Amino acid sequence: MKLWGGRFTKETNQLVHNFNASLSFDQKFFKQDIEGSIAHVTMLAKQGIISEEEKDLIISGLSGIMEDIINGSLIIDEEHEDIHSFVEAHLIERIGDPGKKLHTGRSRNDQVALDMKLYIRDEISEIDELVKNLLITLHRIMKENTQTFMPGFTHLQKAQPVTLAHHFGAYFEMFKRDRSRLSDISKRMNLSPLGSGALAGTTYPLDRNLTAELLGFDGPTLNSMDSVSDRDYLIELLSALSTIMMHLSRFSEEIIIWNSNEYRFVELDDAYSTGSSIMPQKKNPDIAELVRGKTGRVYGALVSILTTMKGLPLAYNKDMQEDKELTFDAIDTVKGCLALFNGMVATMKFQKNYMENSAKNGFTNATDAADYLVNKGVPFRDAHGIVGQLVLYCIEKDIALEEMSLEEFKNISPVFEQDIYDAISMETCVNKRNTIGAPGVEAMKQVIQINEEYLKA
Ligand code: ARG
């Protein structure tokens, strides 16, 4: 049953077996393991290392194992050490001696490096698809809300008016960068380690270019020691996933704030919120809170693998088996969070009146009042001081700037005329800001058009 019993005189201690085994988690890539083996024997036969008949027998045996695992008739039991041992043992059981040739010119070190890369490559495209779906939702909301005014914040203090389209556009850019990070990783990692052997290649005339091609890689890796001990792509992936989670977490935090009784900018759909067992009035943003909370878990995986790798001498060391569980958990976490977050955002209602009132009641047009004075020839620093006085006056009277009478304006500075009201209206404040990237409706429309092309590509 073991792949390596020959030089041992005693049975493995059961606890050692349990501690050492990885089958409970590496069975996740049984398909990739079998696909890799099929490519390997195809190449072995082509190179004359095994016969055509042996190759055909092995491939049909492997395909049968794959089918049976999928249809549930072959259960992956825990007595084997890992998925590689499991598949090989079952192959030999099914086809006899030819099965013993499967592992010719191969080590579990290059095999596991291959399996993990194949698995991760598929997962990256699934994650990318989920991020893209979220972008499609954001894009729709942006198109619908180029004139939905709301306060923009700095220090969580109302700063200047923006629009909902502009605010969501910020997240659109973040998730766009996330996708570009994923695509960089896919490109960089797409070299095949198969054929690197344990660490020093093999004496067989393997065609590494052929297996690389059969498995959809851009080519073989160029150093066999590096091939079996490189986990950079997992570190890069966990870093990219951590960044996705950081973005989701910031967005979640905003949704939690916006959904609070004090803000009421949004109302979460009933299907995406939860209640309290004691307080009947409660409707809680648990999904957003959980996404925010799960961010720590993904960061943990990144720090864990960085720490695992930091002291490892070349080449393969068993420590590297620790690359799997946390990576799998991080991937599942991110996929779950992306899907739920998308559903939550897609169904939530925007309370535009609350957003707009909030923008009106926080002096978010103060900068524009100062700019008004500058346009009438007042130096900016003086204008800043004058508007400061206006704000102080309004705070005392508990009114907004635009609620002051012209006389009151003129009492503070004679430069003010009737056109001040138009200059500090919400529409003017937002729509005058039309440099690319700004919230003005013209600038926003350009960006939305660019995003539209991006989503189509
Ligand atoms: N389960 C092992 C891992 O995940 C497979 C490679 C084992 N290689 C070895 N030399 N023990 O890393």
Q: What is the DSSP string of 81-137?
A: SSHHHHHHHHHHHHH-GGGGGTTTT--HHHHHHHHHHHHHHHHHHHHHHHHHHHHHH
Do both 113 and 157 map to the same domain? yes
Ligand 1 centroid distance, CA of 234 (Å): 16
Q: Is 108 in the pocket of ligand 1 (CB under 6 A)?
A: yes
The residue count of the chain comes to 457
Among protein residues, the one with the nearest Cα to ligand 1's atom 4 is: 321
Model confidence at 411, pLDDT cuts 50, 70, 90, reads: very high
State the average pLDDT over residues 370-392. 97
Domain for residue 210, yes or no?
Answer: no
* Helices and strands counted in the chain (H then E): 19, 4
Domain for residue 69, yes or no?
Answer: yes
Do both 395 and 416 map to the same domain? yes
Given 298, 329, 357, which residue is the final one in a domain? Answer: 357
Q: Is 22 in the pocket of ligand 1 (CB under 6 A)?
A: yes
Q: The domain containing residue 402 runs over which residues? A: 363-456
Residue 444, amino acid: M
pTM over 0.90: yes
3-state secondary structure of 63: helix
Q: Report the C-alpha gap between 449 and 196 in whole angstroms.
A: 48
Q: Is the pLDDT of residue 433 over 90?
A: yes
| Count: domains in the chain | 3
Model confidence at 1, pLDDT cuts 50, 70, 90, reads: low
Model confidence at 278, pLDDT cuts 50, 70, 90, reads: confident
* Helix locations, 259-322, DSSP H: 286-309
Mean pLDDT, the chain, whole residue set: 97
Domain for residue 344, yes or no?
Answer: yes
Q: Is the pLDDT of residue 275 over 90?
A: no
Ligand 1 centroid distance, CA of 125 (Å): 26
Q: Is 109 in the pocket of ligand 1 (CB under 6 A)?
A: yes
231: closest CA among 167, 165, 164, 324? 324
The set of catalytic residues is: 155, 276
Ligand 1 centroid distance, CA of 84 (Å): 9
**For residue 198, which atom of ligand 1 is closest to its CA?**
10
Domain for residue 5, yes or no?
Answer: no
Q: What are phi and psi of 195, to 5 degrees?
A: 100, 0
Residues facing 162 on adjacent strands: 150
Do both 250 and 375 map to the same domain? no
Contacts of 268 (CB under 8 A, 6+ apart): 255, 259, 283, 285, 287, 344, 347, 348
State the average pLDDT over residues 173-180. 98
Domain for residue 390, yes or no?
Answer: yes
Do both 98 and 139 map to the same domain? no
Do both 449 and 313 map to the same domain? no
Given 295, 322, 357, which residue is the final one in a domain? Answer: 357
DSSP string for residues in 23-57 = HHHHGGGHHHHHHHHHHHHHHHHHTTSS-HHHHHH
Q: Report the C-alpha gap between 281 and 228 in whole angstroms.
A: 57
Given 72, 104, 136, which residue is the final one in a domain? Answer: 104
Do both 387 and 353 map to the same domain? no
User: Which tokens in the block code for residue 346?
Assistant: 């897609």
